[in-house]
Amino acid sequence: MTVRSNEDIVRGYVQAHAAHDFDTLSELRHPEWTAEWPQSGERVRGDANARAMIDHYPGSSLPNFNAGRIVGSEDRWVTTPMYTIQRVVGSGDFWWGDGTVSYPDGSTWSLAVLVQLRDGKIYRETDYFAAPFEAPAWRAPWVERMG
C-alpha cells in the first residue's frame, strides 16, 4: 500500500470538492472531521451531516468550487552530509488554500480554507467566505487594482 503525503491528501480533497465527488470526500475525512464557518457561527460535525446538507441543498444545482493556491509543507529536496539528494515529502499537518465559490444565483465569493490533518485524513477545516465589494476610492493612490 502506498502512503500518501499530506500534500497529496489535501490536493485530492480539493479536487474532490471541485468535482462534487462526495464519496472521495468521505474517504479522505477523519472519523472526527469537523468544518467550521466563523462568519455564520456554524460547525458541521461529521461526514454524515455534510452529506445530509448536500442532499438537502436548495435548488437544483450545487455551488462550484474553483481552487486557487494550496500552501503547506510542500515537497522539499535536501542534501545529506554524504551529498545524497533526498526528497522530503509534504507532511505538515496544517495547510491553507484559497479560491472562489460560484453559487447557483450567479454570485461568486472568495474562499479561504485552513485545513488540519490527523492520521492521514482531513481532521478539521475552517472556511472563510467573503462577498466581493467595491474598493473605496480614497485608497486608489496607494493600491493596485487586481484582475
Question: Collapsing DSSP states into helix, strand and coil, what is residue 25?
Answer: helix
At 135, phi and psi to the nearest 5? -65, 140
Greater confidence, 111 or 80? 111
* The pLDDT value given to residue 79: 67
Domains with residue ranges and CATH for the chain: 6-131 (3.10.450.50)
The per-residue pLDDT for range 52-108, each reduced to its tens digit, is: 999 999 987 899 988 888 888 766 666 666 566 665 555 689 999 889 989 899 999
Task: Read off the DSSP letter of residue 2.
Answer: P
Residue recorded with cell 472521495: 24
Cell digits of residue 49: 451531516
The per-residue pLDDT for range 28-48, each reduced to its tens digit, is: 999 999 999 999 999 999 999
53: left (phi over 0), alpha (psi -120 to 50) or beta: alpha
Question: Collapsing DSSP states into helix, strand and coil, what is residue 145?
Answer: coil
H or E segment to which residue 113 belongs: strand 108-118
Degrees, nearest 5: CA angle 95-98-104: 130
Paired sense of beta strands 121-130 and 29-37, if any:
parallel
